[in-house]
Structure 1
Amino acid sequence: MSAITIEGLVKEYSTTTAVRDFDLKIKRGEVFGFLGPNGAGKSTIIDLLLGFREPTDGEISILGHNPEDSPYTVRKHIGVLPDNYSLYDHLTGREHVEYATQIGEFDIKPKSILERVGLEGEGDQRAKGYSKGMRQRLALGIALVGNPEILILDEPTTGIDPNGVQEFQAIINQESNNGTTVFFSSHSLEQVQAVCDRIGIIDAGELLTVSKIDELRKSLNRDSTLVLTVDTVPDNHGLLDLNHVNNVSETDTTLRIDCTDPSAKSSVINCVETAGATVTDINVENASLADLFEKVTNGGYRE
């Protein structure tokens, strides 16, 4: 059984359709990255998963439960770190966790939660003195109270410095290793790329693609870019006639060749040298998730 199953999901409002024909399955223990521009429908999907909104059509299953029919059962299995969370500045980190355990009637020691999010040494400090990264980790700790099987994280690393981001990513990886399913909604493409097993890209309420990043590169014919510095760019290099080359751009002394297979490197260099140029430098740039995201959302890509 999948952790999350969505079939034919539609959410309509009086004048707009926020989600249309949305299908998705997320495996147990998977870290799933959910990406999309502002207003794409990411927050609506999260609200539907949590039972905060009712779908117009379609089905949602969370560990075999429908959030519309059994919202409280579903929420017992889910820990949530919302985008707009707030803390009580006058309470300590430990008191926040204690309060969460009391509200949820969970039998768990606050110390163990603070240790899981790296705040065991700061648990008796008031939240007012916490850095942004520490506040974010405390909020994650509160989401972990009750040992949820699914974590839903909405923009979890916004405003955190690079060290804080790395600490947060390490926690996510550890929770995933322990079997927790993570639904990671974010604008930060680099951070999604660092921790996620697969990604889904949504735009205008439609799920455009679900894929591993490497597979998405191949499906978009964009694996890497070979950058050649030459003494002069030959007029008739013939690079586009080669297998696994799908785009070439050039300046006076540089050729940028988009390749779909690393094995094309030697044939590209041979082709350029045969055309009369001398290659003085070679660099390989792998397509980043940002490149792929731009191509999917701006290029009309549909699976």
Structure 2
Amino acid sequence: MSDNSIELRGLTKRFDNTVAVDDLSLTVRDDETYGFLGPNGAGKSTTISMLLDYRRPTEGTVRVLGQDPHTDGAEVRSRIGTLPDGYSTYDKLSARRHLRFVIDTKGADDDPEELLERVGLTDVIDDPAGTFSQGMKQRLALAMALVGDPELLILDEPFTGLDPHGVRTVRDIVRAERERDTAVFFSSHILGQVELVCDRIGILHSGRLIAEGTLDELKAGIDADEDASIEDIFVAYTNDSVRATTEGIR
């Protein structure tokens, strides 16, 4: 059995003449939280869409919990929780009914009230989702991702649209899931939150993984000061990548 929840090998995705993801190889271990960083348009969401089999790779292989999400999709989906980019809720359905739908689909026995309490939505449990703010919908979607005690959480920009309380809630949930040995893979361009919860970090730029490691390893890779922030590190690596690409063109 593999000790990796995610294994990507040579993953490439092209759209006509555009290379959205370029020869990406990475692993996420069963016992870690992995932060996938990059600016908008770096290829983060495209990578996640291939993990979930929403898009097929042009080249390369994907393994999620040791399985191919294309050929073993139903089993993979039963074992993971996802918060995808561009998710939608049903305006006329209550938060409780959203949770009940996912619970029934997965054949789980979760209590909707307990899940909604975790994300801070117990006061609106029977309100229609159409009355929710974007941040509340984001928290509802996170509660849906937690159904069935998933072995792996895949979260695409989980902090988007959240107020400081919502950001702290997501951070606490990620830590709690990590403590119960759930692997967590999440993308973000909100850099400050990543260093607070991640065991390892990968930096994606123009579809390529340009750096990977613990925060200390990333600092060492650019001879950064010990007190350098993740923002400083990110800027240094992406600037080096742009400079190397430009020099290569010359």
Distance in 2 (CA, whole Å) between partners of 1:56 and 1:158 is: 29
Higher relative contact order (CA 8 A, sep 6+): 2
User: What does residue 127 of structure 1 align with?
Assistant: 129
Distance in 2 (CA, whole Å) between partners of 1:294 and 1:124 is: 44
Q: Is the 8 A contact 1:184 1:192 kept in 2?
A: no
Length-normalised TM-score, structure 1: 0.74
> Where do residues 241-280 of structure 1 align in structure 2 (5 Å cutoff)?
none
> Where do residues 19-98 of structure 1 align in structure 2 (5 Å cutoff)?
19-98=21-100
Q: Is the 8 A contact 2:45 2:85 kept in 1?
A: no
- Using the TM superposition, give the Cα deviation of residue 118 of structure 1 relative to its aligned residue in structure 2, in angstroms: 3.3
Distance in 2 (CA, whole Å) between partners of 1:200 and 1:209 is: 6
- Using the TM superposition, give the Cα deviation of residue 17 of structure 1 relative to its aligned residue in structure 2, in angstroms: 2.2
Distance in 2 (CA, whole Å) between partners of 1:163 and 1:67 is: 34
89-98 vs 122-131, which moves further: 122-131
Question: Does 2:161 match 1:159?
Answer: yes
SS at match of 1:199: strand
User: What does residue 204 of structure 1 align with?
Assistant: 206
Instruction: Describe the superposition over 1:5-62 as per-residue Cα deviations: whole angstroms up to 9, x where unpaired.
Output: 1112222333122222211010113111101122211111101111122222222111
Distance in 1 (CA, whole Å) between partners of 2:142 and 2:171 is: 12
Match of 2:104 among 102, 105, 112: 102
SS at match of 1:152: strand
SS at match of 1:3: strand
Question: Does 2:230 match 1:297?
Answer: no
Q: Which amino acid aligns with 2:149?
A: N
SS at match of 2:36: strand
- Using the TM superposition, give the Cα deviation of residue 131 of structure 1 relative to its aligned residue in structure 2, in angstroms: 4.4
Instruction: Describe the superposition over 1:153-188 as per-residue Cα deviations: whole angstroms up to 9, x where unpaired.
Output: 111111211122112211111111111111110110
Match of 2:149 among 147, 150, 153: 147
> Which stretches of structure 1, 4 residues or longer, exceed 4 Å deviation after superposition?
none
Distance in 1 (CA, whole Å) between partners of 2:195 and 2:21 is: 25
Q: Is the 8 A contact 1:79 1:143 kept in 2?
A: yes
Q: Is the 8 A contact 1:19 1:206 kept in 2?
A: yes
Distance in 2 (CA, whole Å) between partners of 1:104 and 1:122 is: 24
Q: Which amino acid aligns with 1:11?
A: K
User: What does residue 139 of structure 2 align with?
Assistant: 137
User: What does residue 216 of structure 1 align with?
Assistant: 218
Length-normalised TM-score, structure 2: 0.89
- Using the TM superposition, give the Cα deviation of residue 292 of structure 1 relative to its aligned residue in structure 2, in angstroms: 0.6
Distance in 2 (CA, whole Å) between partners of 1:287 and 1:153 is: 26
User: What does residue 13 of structure 1 align with?
Assistant: 15
Unaligned segments of structure 1, at least 5 residues: 225-285
115-124 vs 31-40, which moves further: 115-124
Distance 1:129 1:10, change over 3 A: closer
Distance in 2 (CA, whole Å) between partners of 1:10 and 1:222 is: 31
Distance 1:131 1:18, change over 3 A: closer
- Using the TM superposition, give the Cα deviation of residue 86 of structure 1 relative to its aligned residue in structure 2, in angstroms: 2.2
Q: Which amino acid aligns with 2:142?
A: L
Q: Is the 8 A contact 2:135 2:160 kept in 1?
A: no
Distance in 1 (CA, whole Å) between partners of 2:240 and 2:154 is: 29
Distance in 2 (CA, whole Å) between partners of 1:39 and 1:51 is: 19
Q: Which amino acid aligns with 1:297?
A: T
Unaligned segments of structure 2, at least 5 residues: 245-250
Q: Is the 8 A contact 1:8 1:23 kept in 2?
A: yes
SS at match of 1:299: helix
RMSD: 1.9
